[in-house]
Chain A
Amino acid sequence: MNNQLTKDDLPGQQKQLTTALWPIAVARMLIGILWLYALRWKLPPSFDGRGETSLREWLELAVEHAAVAPYGELIESLVIPNFAVFAWLVFVAELLTGLSLLTGTLTRAGAALGLALSLNLGIAMLDVPGEWPWSYVMMAMWHLLFVLSAPGQKWGVDAWLTGNGTPSSTVRLLTSTPKD
């Protein structure tokens, strides 16, 4: 195909500025597994911890050690009284994020959801004893990287979604596909 370039065709400086997508794709899949693995202690319909700290216990810890007072009050007054609704929301959001990142499907959308979840976790766990807040900073940063780059284009369904014909603007947006 005459519109193909090889790395060897790029000017020297540009070669050095480009980034291999494969480590980002590996990280995307690992973080997808992370989200799915974390579901094991918040499975419906009981959402109990199955021997580990349960979702409800984590919420109670977030209230007890709230770093941002209004956030703790919100959890206490809105989330815990309506636990089942929010537990389902958390479960579905983490499931969708995990599947999106693991398979590289609509990766920008999945990463944006993962970014929101990571920031929420970071705020909730900031002052909880034994938690290392930088873990959540790192998680948020990875999801931001997935939003900014196109990790689903490597070993992902996004490459297939955008590889046949001209993808719609919505698909382009949700998959971080660059314009031709």
Chain B
Amino acid sequence: MTTTSPNQIGIETEAGQQKGSVAVALLRITLGVILLATWWGNIGDDFYTADGFKGFLDWLVLSGEEGGNGSSLTFFHDLLDATIVPVAGLAAFGQLIMEGLAGLLLVVGGATRLASLWSMGFFAILFLSYFGGEEWIWTYVLLFMAALTVFLGYGGRQLGLDQIIAKAKGSSFGGLIW
């Protein structure tokens, strides 16, 4: 059982938590804006196509000297090659829908638990994909932690649609949607 008395060592304070939830809403909106901005940029670059996806996977393992990322987790790239490449067109279309939808949901604070859960998986995959290469890997640590915090902190219950939905409908299925 978690106590909420203020000013005790190692104990979550109630006032701190309430301030945190507004801050988590700001984190959620930032995360959503980042997803949407990247999504929009990727559309302009024809990324969400079979060729775009395959090209990205090739670039990940290409060495830094050859202009690639030089990722080092070969087992993970073997896994991506085996699972994504055969269905690259479908995977690209799924990514187009999910990335845009998750960004939108995070910005408006709707179905935030589901959107942040999906984002956690997405950022974890990106972390493993880029690991050991030229890309600044901390970016994906920051993004993953942001999605985790939004998920655990019910990020849509402040400044979000989830606040209204929860009031009208109560909890979602296992709390996994809002």
Contact = CB atoms under 8 A, between A and B. Distances in A.
- Residue among A130, A138, A180 facing the most chain B CB atoms (10 A cut-off): A138
Nearest to A155: B10
11 contacts: A16-B157, A16-B166, A23-B149, A23-B153, A24-B149, A27-B149, A142-B146, A145-B27, A150-B15, A163-B7, A180-B7
A31 B34 CA distance: 19
Interface stretch (B46-54, B77-85, B133-141): B133-141
B127 to A, nearest CB: 12
A87 B142 CA distance: 26
Interface of B: 1-24, 26-27, 30-31, 34, 37-38, 134, 136, 138-139, 141-143, 145-146, 148-149, 152-154, 157-158, 166-167, 171
Interface stretch (A5-13, A40-48, A77-85, A94-102): A5-13
A interface residue count range (under 10 / 10 to 19 / 20 to 34 / 35 or more): 35 or more
Given A26-B145, A160-B9, 13 more contacts: A13-B166, A19-B24, A19-B152, A20-B152, A21-B17, A31-B142, A134-B139, A141-B26, A145-B20, A145-B24, A150-B15, A150-B19, A153-B12
Nearest to A145: B23
A105 interface: no
B7 A177 contact: yes
A162 B7 contact: yes
B12 A20 contact: yes
B139 A149 contact: no
B19 A149 contact: yes
Contacts, number: 152
Interface of A: 1, 3-8, 10, 13, 16-24, 26-27, 30-31, 34, 130, 132, 134-135, 137-139, 141-142, 144-145, 148-150, 153-155, 159-160, 162-163, 167, 176-180
Contact of B5 (A5, A20, A137): A5
The 3 A-B pairs with the shortest beta carbon distances in the complex, nearest first, are: A178-B15, A150-B16, A19-B153
A148 B153 contact: no
A118 to B, nearest CB: 10
A148 B10 contact: no
B28 to A, nearest CB: 10
Nearest to B17: A18
A178 B22 CA distance: 15
